[in-house]
Chain A
Amino acid sequence: NAGVTQTPKFRILKIGQSMTLQCTQDMNHNYMYWYRQDPGMGLKLIYYSVGAGITDKGEVPNGYNVSRSTTEDFPLRLELAAPSQTSVYFCATSQDRVRNEQFFGPGTRLTVL
């Protein structure tokens, strides 16, 4: 089992460009999350999903969009990249909301210049 996979590993964007960060899981978990991690700031929740077809905003959703058409995939879309979106992005899954123990992917390091 691969667990949670993310692509790409690294990406450099110019201001105003768009891109999609891919996240795929083979754990059959209903709950999926997107976080961003900035130095000294911990992890901030961008968007989350409780199942296919259901998504909701987290703490820092502005500038991002998500979709969840299948249990396995939870892509994160950046429409007009800005330097403030330079960060490391992590996708995570959890089996339930009671314990909410999360399994993370390896991350995507994004730089916007």
Chain B
Amino acid sequence: TQLLEQSPQFLSIQEGENLTVYCNSSSVFSSLQWYRQEPGEGPVLLVTVVTGGEVKKLKRLTFQFGDARKDSSLHITAAQPGDTGLYLCAGRSSNTGKLIFGQGTTLQVKP
């Protein structure tokens, strides 16, 4: 069974601080996606990384796919209250094509 472990599970920081969320597995994924979910809504896709070592930037968010395609990280620079939400990573299984979701990281950014 493929698993994705996210850390930390909860993060509460002040506006302006930097943070990193990790997504780790012992399995290789063909690609990895990051979603953000706000209370009462469904997840929204932020980015897909496909190549080992790939780095993608989305304004203040930087996403990296590990060289071996087993792990990923999300770094937020100068966090803002609007970044508050649940961040989910999801790996695409090479065998089945289905997405395997991590358990999520709840981020709270205080003004």
The digit string for B1-37, where 1 denotes a CB below 8 A from any CB of A, is: 0001000010000000000000000000001010000
Interface residues on A, range: 20 to 34
Least distance between B88 CB and chain A CB atoms (Å) = 7
**B45 to A, closest residue via Cβ:** A101
Contact assessment for B42 and A104 in the assembled complex, using a CB-CB cutoff below 8 Å: yes
**B47 to A, closest residue via Cβ:** A101
The digit string for B72-111, where 1 denotes a CB below 8 A from any CB of A, is: 0000000000000000101010000111011110000000
In the complex, the number of residue pairs spanning A and B with C-beta atoms less than 8 Å apart equals 53
Contact assessment for A99 and B88 in the assembled complex, using a CB-CB cutoff below 8 Å: no
B9 / chain A contacts, CB cutoff of 8 Å: 40
Least distance between A7 CB and chain B CB atoms (Å) = 14
Contact assessment for B104 and A104 in the assembled complex, using a CB-CB cutoff below 8 Å: no
Instruction: Choose among A40, A92, A99, A103 the residue that contacts B31 (Cβ–Cβ < 8 A).
Output: A99
Contact assessment for B88 and A43 in the assembled complex, using a CB-CB cutoff below 8 Å: yes
A53 / chain B contacts, CB cutoff of 8 Å: none
Contact assessment for B99 and A90 in the assembled complex, using a CB-CB cutoff below 8 Å: no
Contact assessment for B103 and A100 in the assembled complex, using a CB-CB cutoff below 8 Å: no
Contact assessment for A102 and B45 in the assembled complex, using a CB-CB cutoff below 8 Å: yes
B43 / chain A contacts, CB cutoff of 8 Å: 43, 90, 102, 104
**B98 to A, closest residue via Cβ:** A45
Least distance between A84 CB and chain B CB atoms (Å) = 18
A105 to B43, CA, bound (A): 8
A48-B98, A101-B33, A106-B40 as given contacts; A42 in contact with B103, CB under 8 Å:
yes
